[in-house]
Amino acid sequence: LTIVQGNNAQGKTNLLEAVSLLSIPSPLRSRSLPDCIQFEKDYLDIQAQFTNHALLEDLESVFENYSVPKHLRLFYQRPAKKAMFHNEVEVKSKDFVGHLKAVIFTPEDIELLSHSPSLRRRYIDRLLVQTDPEYFYNLAQYGKVLKSRNLVLKDESNHATIGSYDLLLSKYAFKVWTARSKVYQFLNQHLQDFYTQIADEEVQINLEVKDSKLADQLSEKAIYEKLQSNLKRDQITK
């Protein structure tokens, strides 16, 4: 247990966000990495060395007193130079995330219950990208295809190609939803046990996903058909 203590504006939260950035190189409080750079500086450089205890236990059974230090580094320089390193070797985001797993809880997280669903999706995404490399890939592909589809919608000369983007988008959207739904199921299985540890045992609590009945019938085909049926509306509101 490590407790960080200090006066206001001494950098306690900055330290926690630095750890968070080494876990997932996406700002926790700011909108973008440039916002995380210290005033009057033009770059940030975060590094940490730690030991993977799970791997250490496996190796100790073979090599006595063997240590497995890990080194992570995130470097960003204005305007858009970003580099990530694992054990001093530059890697891509998918190979950087997951080495340092972290659960972040801040006072603002109370808004998860009352504010936009996008906050709840982001919270689930931060959990999944650290534990499921395939989800990291599918979520990234979903974002890329969605961005490309939106660009095509703005260019009327390319509207004929929208069907191919819808096929890809429905594919990755279904994969993302399937992974998220497994998290919801896991939370529901354990939610009651955790709740009874801090509240009245007679109170029953469960997690319910909106439109869960429709979600049971969700498929790539259903998503594709929905995209096609909403195409004219999407073209108008592009």
pLDDT at 210: 72
Q: What angle do CA 152, 173, 181 make, to 5 degrees?
A: 160
Closest CA to 41 of 10, 16, 78: 78
CA distance 33 to 1: 29
Q: DSSP readout, 167-195? A: HHHHHHHHHHHHHHHHHHHHHHHHHHHHH
pLDDT at 1: 80
Q: How many CA atoms lie within 13 A of 25 on its CB side?
A: 25
Q: Is 195 exposed, middle or buried (0-12, 13-18, 19+ CB in 10 A)?
A: middle
CA distance 220 to 226: 10
Q: Is 167 exposed, middle or buried (0-12, 13-18, 19+ CB in 10 A)?
A: middle
pLDDT at 218: 83
- Residues paired with 89 in a beta bridge: 86
Residue 165 in 3-state DSSP? helix
Residue 69 in 3-state DSSP? strand
Please check whether residue 96 is in contact with residue 72, taking contact to mean a CB–CB distance below 8 angstroms.
Answer: yes
For 139, the token pair is 């979520």
CA distance 124 to 91: 24
pLDDT at 166: 93
pLDDT at 65: 46
CA distances (Å), origin 168, targets 143, 171, 225 = 11, 5, 13
| Residue ranges in the chain whose pLDDT is less than 50 | 59-66
